[in-house]
Amino acid sequence: MPEQTAAETTTPVSPTANIGVVGLAVMGSNLARNLASREGNTVAVYNRSRSKTDELVAEHPEAGFVPAFSYEEFAASLQKPRTALIMVKAGGPTDAVIDELMNVFEPGDIIIDGGNALFTDTIRREKAVRERGFNFVGMGVSGGEEGALLGPSLMPGGPDEAWVTLGPILRSIAAVAEGEPCVTHIGHDGAGHFVKMVHNGIEYADMQLIAEAYDLIRRATGASPAEIADVFAEWNTGELESYLIEITAEVLRQVDAETGTPLVDVILDQAGAKGTGGWTVQTAIDLGVPVSGIAEAVFARSLSSHPEQRSISGALPGPDDSTGEHLTGADADAFIEQVRLALYASKIVAYSQGFDEIRAGAAHYDWSIDLGAVSKIWRAGCIIRAQFLNRIADAYEAEPDLAVLLTAPYFVDALTRAQDAWRNIVALAAAAGIPAPAFSSSLAYYDGLRARRLPAALIQGQRDFFGAHTYKRIDKDGTFHTLWSGDRTEVEAEDTH
């Protein structure tokens, strides 16, 4: 008979834990440690591989973990209503753990999925679990490994009944911004994972915009990565202050130990993705919400990941850059300031588009989502934490039904101040052949919003010509169709938009 570990010989005889964690990879173990470090929490832990459980318990005796080595032991260790946080791979593994927990839990118990699940999967799971009498909560967790341990931003959905139990526990481990925990009950069923998805979409846009700013400065001024790091560090003391700006400076300063060159110059220029950015764009299309800045960020990663296409396209004609001269002195400083303003303006667009998508999703799925509360829980703990999230919270506090975030007075002032530089940077990038898709698409979106009339009228006429898709008129009510293949008279028609 195999020798048992010390942890395995101590099976809980009574329920002592108020929450349990299933799945003890880095995120799960860090969340478990975070939970255990907060007063009032006793944490049960379970992993399919016993070695991970033993390792966690042995390395952190101060946590007072209650180890379990079967789902039955895990359930027996939890106080009622039993509360279990699942931190396993999205998809089939999550479904498998849910099924195992329902076999040992009782009606009224709470199952939380803290992974990056697609929100429609969460809607499906919540319905199935609810039909068996359990509470299911899909919860977005942002902040990475460090946030999980020290305080993440948390976006739980699920039923009100579950929030009564979960609220105090989650508030105990969340990041804190200006005295407020970065967690709120987002809404029912898939609302939490929906908001986390959009958070990640905004993150894609923010990262792409920062990368474009870096590329523009380097190409135009010839500055080294370390010198550009100093620029970003300075930006992080002002209105652009954010986690992503902060870490950009750190990455640009890093020197590769093997070659002695800047690390950014030896990293392969092919950006990976795990799907949430694409989900954000696909969902926005389904909802009819333009998120062009986020979409261009997703597509830029896709383009970067096709070296075979890039290699054969490198000889395509572009603008004449034979002079090779770089901006210096005051000219370089002025250019860098214009890039900063363009970055800020484009960042405003990215967040505005993201909040538009959240509002549209809430309307479509009948969720009551407080957009101001969402902006507040993103102020700390998460990847897109930034100073100006306070300004977003102020905007929604002043006008909860604000239709377009960037029309709030603070952002109107910021865009007024930035727009000349923004337009100049986009024009210079195009003239120089420097790709800046997120900058340029953000500006195009802004101008599209402010246009009194768009060329969509011509598109609708074309659609009516080849497909009898009909159109509406500006001067009278009704739906119309022109008999293009006949005498081209106009007739009233059924709306086929």
Binding-site residues from annotation: 23-28, 47-49, 88-90, 116, 142-144, 199-200, 204, 274, 301, 463, 469
Cα separation, 250 vs 229, whole angstroms: 7
Q: Are 192 and 140 in contact (CB under 8 A)?
A: yes
**How is residue 112 annotated by DSSP?**
E
Write down the catalytic residue from 100, 196, 347, 376: 196
89: Cβ contacts below 8 Å, ≥ 6 apart: 115
At position 366, the amino acid (one-letter code) is D
Give the residue among 432, 424, 207, 383 at the shortest CA–CA distance from 300: 207
Annotated binding-site residues for substrate read: 116, 142-144, 199-200, 204, 274, 301, 463, 469
Q: Is 203 a catalytic residue?
A: yes
Q: In what order do the strands lie in the sheet with 66-67?
A: 66-67, 43-46, 19-22, 83-86, 110-113, 135-142, 153-156
Give the residue among 347, 371, 372, 375 at the shortest CA–CA distance from 359: 371
Q: Is 196 a catalytic residue?
A: yes
Q: For tokens 């096709």, what's the residue?
A: 306
Cα separation, 140 vs 156, whole angstroms: 6
Write down the catalytic residue from 126, 146, 180, 203: 203
User: Other CB atoms closer than 10 Å to residue 458's CB: what's the count?
Assistant: 9
225: Cβ contacts below 8 Å, ≥ 6 apart: 218, 252, 253, 262, 264, 265
The first and second tokens of residue 15, run together, are: 């329920």
Give the residue among 186, 92, 82, 182 at the shortest CA–CA distance from 139: 186
Cα separation, 232 vs 223, whole angstroms: 13
Cα separation, 293 vs 291, whole angstroms: 6
Maximum alpha-carbon separation in the chain: 92
Query: What is the distance, to the nearest Å, from the Cα of residue 195 to the centroid of all Cα atoms in its chain?
Result: 8
The catalytic residue positions are: 196, 203
